[in-house]
Amino acid sequence: MTISSFIVSAEVAAALAAGRPVVALESTIISHGLPRPRNHGAALEFERMLRDAGVTPATIAVLDGVPNIGLDDEGVRRIAEDDLAKASVRDLPLLAASGASGATTVAATAHLASLASIRVFATGGLGGVHRGASTTFDESADLGTLARTPVTVVSAGVKSVLDIAATLERLESLSVPVVGYRTTVFPSFWLTESAFSIDWSVDTPAEVAAIMRAQDALGHGQGIIVANPIPRELQWDPVEHDRVLLEALSAADVAGISGKAVTPFLLGYIVEASEGRSLEVNLDLARNNVRLAGEIATAWASLSADLA
């Protein structure tokens, strides 16, 4: 008996076979990172933005045990409306064996994207090292996965709820390149900047494609993080940001939240405490990442065609 380990939608398979640009999109941001009902509209909007730019979207989730690379409208509805498990890489075999469904994190989405030979992926913010990780060991599997998964992830840095300095240190240890898009300051998700600088910056999608090509040629198997800051005029008010952030961290502490529940708890708390203002910023930065990922995938497709 042959069991197919994953399904690539006809639309995505056709685009890949023809060498047309494809961008992977994660489902945890939809199921656990954004509140209903805005999450459903956001999932559809990200897909539409890519199609309008001539890029094929591949939203990824596990449905009834099967990793799906590219969802139909019903699949998108399910990740937005059903109560799906949050699935990282280690959960994939368990979902598969039990026939359960799950929304994939950055780690699981990147892993599945690379199985399907998709090279570019847009998210909101990457997971990272949590504050207090020196005692809790809470470090997102996103980091370790990118150390062995050749996918370029466009993200607005990492959320300021994390330990940004430790996250950047870990990425250095794991040999994952971090490239600022038109900046040398690492962004902090809702804010254009953080206190941390990055060594490398590029100005065009073609430069990112060239880095991908060079990495392949050097035999590296890791991913690349493109840090794409939200434009300053769209960022969250830094004063409100700092206040709500401290509140959220102490609420998580008081409620005894740990493990994979931490990130969804903090995001939900912050949306409520900011009366939705952080949500608008979250959507804007995600759109900004989807747009750039589409441009990078397009540059990658044309570079690959030139070299073929």
**Which residues 117-176 are close enough to bind ligand PSU by CB under 6 A?**
124-125, 127, 140-142, 159
Stretch that binds Mn ion, among 21-29, 136-144, 157-165, 172-180 (CB under 5 A): 136-144
Is 137 buried (19+), middle (13-18) or exposed (0-12) by CB count in 10 A? exposed
Stretch that binds ligand PSU, among 9-17, 23-31, 50-58, 145-153 (CB under 6 A): 23-31
Which residue, among 302, 307, 300, has the nearest Cα to 151 in the 3D structure? 300
The Cα 156–Cα 153 span in angstroms is 10
Rounded to a whole number of angstroms, the minimum distance from the CB of residue 42 to ligand PSU is 11
Selected from 47, 138, 142, 284, the binder of Mn ion by CB under 5 A is 138
Residue 284 binding Mn ion, by CB under 5 A:
no
- Looking at the chain, how many residues does it have? 308
Closest approach of ligand PSU to the CB of residue 26, in Å: 5
29 binds ligand PSU (CB under 6 A): yes
Q: With contact defined as beta carbons under 8 Å apart, do 34 and 140 qualify?
A: no
Q: Is 26 in the site for Mn ion (CB under 5 A)?
A: no
Which of Mn ion, ligand PSU, none does residue 142 bind to, with CB < 5 to 8 Å depending on kind? Answer: ligand PSU
In whole angstroms, give the CA distance from residue 92 to residue 104: 9
> Which one of 47, 86, 139, 159 is the catalytic residue?
159
**146: which residues sit within 8 A by CB, 6+ positions away?**
107, 110, 126, 153, 171, 174, 176, 222, 223, 225
What is the nearest approach in angstroms of ligand PSU to the Cβ of residue 168?
A: 16
Instruction: List active site positions.
Output: 26, 159
Under the rule (CB under 6 A), what is the footprint of ligand PSU?
26, 28-29, 32-33, 105-107, 124-125, 127, 140-142, 159, 260, 263, 267
